[in-house]
Amino acid sequence: MSSAGSCPSCGAGLGEPFLEIRDVPVECNLLSESAEAARAVPRGDIRLALCPRCGLITNSSFDPSLAQYDSRYENSLWSSPTFAAYAKALIDRLIERYDIRGKRVLGVGSGRGEFLNALCEAGDNEALGFDPSYNLEEGLPGSHVHMVPDYFRALYADIDADLVVCRHVLEHVSDPAGLARLIRHTLSDGGVAHVEVPNGAYMLRTDSVWDVIYEHPHYFVEGALTGLFRGTGFRIEHVYTGYGDQYLGLEAAPDPQPPARHELAPDEVEGLEVAAERFGSAYRTTITTWANHLATWKRAGARVAVWGMGSKGVMFLNAVPGAASIEALVDINPRKQGRYVAGTGQRIAAPHELAERDADVVIIMNPLYRQEIAGSLDALGVHADVIPAARSTAA
């Protein structure tokens, strides 16, 4: 067995690490009230290794005790019209495909409950959501949604749900197979699980280096995700990629006689190994390239802003030399505005503040929002070069 340890999904020995990143914030989306608190957040190391049997990518240095999700954790994307449109279209498909009308829905890692609320409103459903970051003092997200500010665990498993929604949670847990088995136990006869995670294949293929964060001990390619659910007693109903191919999802139903776990073919393994090694090299190149861009803009006196203070933006600011001195940081999520970036301590501003500062260059952290952000800049009267932070190139 490799020194990198064992795959938490299928138990095979992991390969040697293809990427190592030292001393990063363990919670990119932690809201801090001061620069000092933001700079003092816990840190950890990342050592990504590939499972040659199922294709799961794992941070073998992950310590689950370091990431403590509470009411300071904020990763909602619902302030974006682009994301809201995607989520609502997905909800419509789930309702139509599985007749989720007047049903009992369970949310695992439901955040602020926006997805559950929209699902209940569209299908006249009742939902119970679990998330340790939920603050009950803010009230419930809707009249048909009840929230429990706790992790979903065996204590709550006898709910008999018609639909379990587990969106962007599986990549956060140290034991994804254990959570999958718990979800299976929770489902009623005829029930279905809806699961969505970041698409590991997209990350490797497009050099999306800012997607590597400590909160994610795992990165799933399709074979890893479907293999995990087949191996924990499910029949796969549907697999998809969405949101510009950045997300990977599936729907699965309990199966009393699930098929044997599928192992990747040798050519699939070889392709992933090549992609992983290339990704490790691309990460290092990307850091150097962006450091050079920032230094060039600084010498020229150009005013630089970064738009998008989710995990991608936080990793960009922490990883790229010189990025911690950028003063104009923007996010449309009002809960992030006026708070400070984990690790670097920079203040996050609302979009209208950018109009007061102006900018020559606006780096956007997710290319999917380019049109949305460009429209906002036009409305603010900010005439700047809009440059995606994806890959290692810039205009």
Run of H or E residues at 237? strand 234-242
Tokens 């479907």 belong to 226
For residue 394, the model assigns a pLDDT of 45
For residue 140, the model assigns a pLDDT of 86
* Least confident residue range of 55-69, 122-136, 292-306, 378-392: 378-392
The mean of the pLDDT values for the chain is: 94
One-letter amino acid of 218: H
For residue 97, the model assigns a pLDDT of 97
Q: How far is CA 148 from the centre of its chain?
A: 21
- Res. 391 pLDDT band, cuts 50 70 90: low
Whole-number Å distance between alpha carbons of 38 and 25: 9
Whole-number Å distance between alpha carbons of 337 and 140: 22
pLDDT higher than 80, residue 260: no
3-class secondary structure, 288: helix
The token pair that represents 172 in the structure block: 């956060």
Strand 43-50 with 19-25, pairing: antiparallel
Enumerate the β-bridge partners of residue 385: 361
Sketch the domain layout of the chain as residue ranges: 269-388
Per-residue DSSP letters for 144-197?
TEEEESS---GGG-TT-EEEEEEES-GGG-S-HHHHHHHHHHHEEEEEEEEEEE
Q: Could you give the C-alpha distances from 64 to 19, 93, 204, 287, 343, in angstroms and in order?
A: 20, 34, 24, 27, 19
For residue 363, the model assigns a pLDDT of 98
Region 319-333: mean pLDDT is 97
pTM for the model stands at 0.94
Whole-number Å distance between alpha carbons of 251 and 268: 23
What residues have CB less than 8 Å from 124, skipping those under 6 apart? 101, 102, 144
For residue 67, the model assigns a pLDDT of 83
**Tens digit of each residue's pLDDT (9 = 90 or more) over 27-65:** 999 999 999 999 999 999 999 999 999 999 999 999 999
- Res. 95 pLDDT band, cuts 50 70 90: very high
Whole-number Å distance between alpha carbons of 28 and 18: 22
One-letter amino acid of 367: P
* Sign of the C-alpha dihedral computed for residues 146, 149, 155 and 161 taken in this order: positive
User: What is the spatial order of strands in the sheet that 218-219 belongs to?
Assistant: 19-25, 43-50, 57-59, 218-219
| Fold type of domain 269-388 | Rossmann fold (3.40.50)
One-letter amino acid of 38: A
Do residues 296 and 73 touch, judged by C-beta distance below 8 A? no
For residue 264, the model assigns a pLDDT of 87
Tokens 């302030």 belong to 79
For residue 2, the model assigns a pLDDT of 42
Structure letter (DSSP) for residue 131? -
For residue 54, the model assigns a pLDDT of 93
Strand 218-219 with 234-242, pairing: unpaired
Q: ∠143-148-154 over CA atoms, to 5°?
A: 130
Q: Which residue did the predictor score with more confidence, 393 or 93? A: 93
**Tens digit of each residue's pLDDT (9 = 90 or more) over 179-224:** 999 999 999 989 999 999 999 999 999 999 999 999 999 999 999 9
pLDDT higher than 50, residue 150: yes
Do residues 182 and 210 touch, judged by C-beta distance below 8 A? no
